[in-house]
Amino acid sequence: MDIYSKRRAQKIWSVLRFPLFLTGQRYISQAAAKIDVDFDYDGPLMKTEVPGPRSRCLLFVFSCKNAEAVHFFCNYEESRGNYLVDVDGNRMLDLYSQISSIPIGRRQLYQSFLFCPQASTFINRPALGILPPENFAERLKESLLSVAPKGLPQVITMSCGSCSNENAFKAIFMWYRNKERGHNNVTKEELESCMINQPPGCPDYAMLSFMGGFHGRTLGCLATTHSKAVHKLDIPSLDWPIAPFPRLKYPLEDFVKENQQEEARCLEEVEDLIVKYRKKKKIVAGIIIEPIQSEGGDNHASDDFFRKLRDIARKHGCAFLVDEVQTGGGCTGKFWAHEHWGLDDPADVVTFSKKMMTGGFFHKEEFRPNAPYRIFNTWLGDPSKNLMLAEVIKVIKREDLLNNATHAGKALLTGLLDLQARYPHLISRVRGRGTFCSFDTPNDATRNKLITIARNKGVVLGGCGDRSIRFRPTLIFKDHHAHLFLNIFSDILANFK
């Protein structure tokens, strides 16, 4: 950062902080000036509103891509640490991190990348399933296998979150069918009928999913996604069972009994659905669930709920698939969010992507496909992403970023609860685990207005569900970033009309 803009930044900041002192409100930003990661910026720096003139101009010339969802254009060369810089030179504290897919902040990989001659890994992309590079096993051990959830020693990589879930479904269906068969002999009828999409070769199996869940947008995943109509409308789907997800009342300590009843009701419905579908000859081979329903509005359930759900899955012989695409990677304070539950019997399959830089899934030994090419595609992931992931995991361990997520998350949540107490008409249902926090706003319009104002004050926030705001910072989001945000946001709320 050049001195000129540094000076400007300080000037802007002095203006922004001033009202806080004056009004005598709780000075929650005591640590906000601290900069402990030396490649991080020291604060937001806004030059225009967002999207600024350059972003708008690019949006205009950009009409040959489906760009309706584009927020603004970014300058990734200048983005560093917790800060995203846009093409207009605005620098924003990024609490959304590319829909939660940046693990340790921009530029952290820079050093290790520049000095190792890994060019081949980036430009010679192999068909991993048939011709892996020599160091592939080694790299898997350094990266994915070093963080494998307990009890799931097997892993396979994929290119994205949706592919990971699709292939996890397939592994589950194969496992279930083999269990049903009881032997390995496939009949001629099965082999012939599967070629024309018919049973018995293509059996009438289903995955049970939850209302409000999100598991991706390809056809199979989409049949288990139920968060917003815009994802599903006009796409043919499958008659698979959908159970209700608990709708907890907050603050939790005031509604213990109600919430327990609500969770019991949902679990009962799960069992009923499995039985009901079995009666109409549609067999539930697996249950898929997110540890925290993310796209659906950051809906939480108790650890007890998940433990009981795991028991139901076992009781009915269904596989238990935990989708950690958004929750995995450390942001909840544990590497995998489902580790909070304390399961006796681990999940059967755990899918990941986003922060893990590569998609894929972990699974128990018994879910290993019984023949080559059954779980397969051209690339099966990308070794250049494993290379980076290995580095990311080293940084997470070295800098103790899981503990950091717990601490920074606590600072954020405490601050949000405080704001909720002061602005109950704007903020409700504050909830979170680690930095994976969120709150509700009264409605869609208020939510979007808050996001826009925050952006123009230098904070990137993301929405989810119909009126929630969610926090998805990187793992190098520290206490002082939390205070920095709370400072700005408290200001916004004080002046919100």
Ligand X SMILES: Cc1ncc(COP(=O)(O)O)c(C=O)c1O
311 binds, among ligand X, a second copy, none (CB under 5 to 8 A by kind): none
Spot the catalytic one: 214, 245, 367, 489. 214
Tell me how far, at minimum, the Cβ of 376 lies from ligand X, in Å.
8
- Supply 224's token pair: 């288990």
Select the binding partner of residue 295 from a second copy, ligand X, none (C-beta < 5 to 8 A, by kind).
ligand X
Work out what residue 427 binds among ligand X, a second copy, none; the CB cut-off runs from 5 to 8 Å by kind. Answer: none
Q: How far is CA 109 from CA 136, 323, 390, in A?
A: 20, 27, 11
| Shortest distance in whole angstroms from residue 355 CB to ligand X | 11
Per CB under 8 A, the segment of 18-26, 183-191, 443-451, 476-484 that binds a second copy is: 183-191
- The residues, any chain, with a CB within 8 Å of residue 467's CB and separated by 6 or more, are 297, 440, 441, 442, 443, 444, 446, 447
Provide the minimum distance between the beta carbon of 100 and ligand X in the complex, in angstroms, as a whole number. Answer: 7
Q: Residue 125, interface with a second copy (CB under 8 A)?
A: yes
Q: How far apart are CA 31 and CA 25, in angstroms?
A: 16
The strand pairing partners of 470, in sequence order, are 438, 462
- Say whether 378 is catalytic: yes
The answer to whether 414 and 406 have CB atoms below 8 angstroms apart is no
Q: Residue for token digits 């808050």?
A: 450
Q: Which residues pair with 83 in a beta bridge?
A: 80, 93
384 touches a second copy by CB under 8 A: yes
End-to-end CA distance of the chain: 35
Return the residue nearest ligand X (CB atom).
161
Please give the structure tokens belonging to residue 197. 């999409």
CA distance 406 to 329: 13
C-beta of residue 139 within 8 angstroms of C-beta of residue 390: yes
Q: Which residue has the tokens 């720096």?
A: 45
Q: Do 388 and 358 form a contact (C-beta atoms < 8 A)?
A: no
Amino acid making up residue 337: A
Q: Is 210 a catalytic residue?
A: no
* Catalytic entry in 334, 354, 355, 385: 354
CA distance 278 to 180: 14
281 lies in the binding site for a second copy (CB under 8 A): no
Output 29 or 157, the one with its CB closest to a second copy. 157
Please choose which of ligand X, a second copy, none residue 294 contacts, taking the beta carbon within 5 to 8 angstroms, the exact cut-off set by kind. Answer: ligand X
CB of 69 to a second copy, least distance (A): 4
Is residue 89 a contact residue for a second copy (CB under 8 A)?
Answer: no
| Cβ distance to ligand X smaller for residue 59 or 99 | 99
Q: Which of residues 221-240 bind a second copy (CB under 8 A)?
A: 221, 223, 226, 229-240
Residue from 119, 183, 254, 344 in contact with a second copy (CB under 8 A): 119
If contact means CB under 5 to 8 A according to the sort of partner, which of a second copy, ligand X, none does residue 252 touch? none
Choose the catalytic residue: 86, 88, 323, 491.
323
CA distance 306 to 310: 6
Stretch of 39-47, 117-125, 396-404, 414-422 contacting a second copy, by CB under 8 A: 117-125
422 near a second copy, judged by CB under 8 A: no
Name the residue among 238, 209, 157, 240 with its Cα closest to residue 320: 209
Q: Shortest gap between Cβ of 124 and a second copy (angstroms)?
A: 4
**Torsion over CA: 67, 73, 76, 81 (sign):** negative
Comparing CB distances to ligand X, the nearer of 80 and 215 is: 215
Cβ contact 492:44 at 8 Å: no
Q: How far is CA 421 from the centre of its chain?
A: 28
The footprint of ligand X (CB under 6 A) covers 99, 160-162, 165, 214-216, 290, 294-295, 323, 325-326, 353, 377-379
Binding of residue 72 to a second copy (CB under 8 A): yes
Least CB distance to a second copy at residue 180 (A): 9
DSSP states of 412-443 as a string? Answer: HHHHHHHHHHH-TTT-EEEEEETTEEEEE-SS
User: Nearest approach, Cβ of 409 to a second copy (angstroms)?
Assistant: 22
* Interacting partner of 82 out of ligand X, a second copy, none (Cβ under 5 to 8 A depending on kind): none
We find the least distance from the C-beta atom of residue 38 to a second copy, in angstroms, to be 17
Q: Which residues pair with 210 in a beta bridge?
A: 243
CA–CA separation, 259 vs 248, rounded Å?
6
CB under 8 A: which stretch of 13-21, 33-41, 74-82, 260-268 binds a second copy? Answer: 74-82
**Residue 215 contacts which entry, ligand X, a second copy, none (Cβ below 5-8 A, type-dependent):** ligand X
Q: Which of residues 130-159 bind a second copy (CB under 8 A)?
A: 130-134, 136-137, 140, 145, 153-156, 159
What is the distance between the alpha carbons of residues 464 and 376, in angstroms, rounded to a whole number?
33
Binds 238: which of a second copy, ligand X, none (CB < 5-8 Å by kind) = a second copy
Residue 355 falls in the annotated catalytic set: no
Catalytic-labelled residue, pool 23, 187, 378, 452: 378
| Residue 164: CB minimum distance to a second copy, A | 10
Closer of 231 and 278 to a second copy (Cβ): 231
Q: What are phi and psi of 218, to 5 degrees?
A: -80, 165
- CA–CA dist 224, 229 (Å, integer): 13
191 binds, among ligand X, a second copy, none (CB under 5 to 8 A by kind): a second copy
Cβ burial, residue 156 (10 Å; 0-12/13-18/19+)? buried
Active site residues: 214, 323, 354, 378
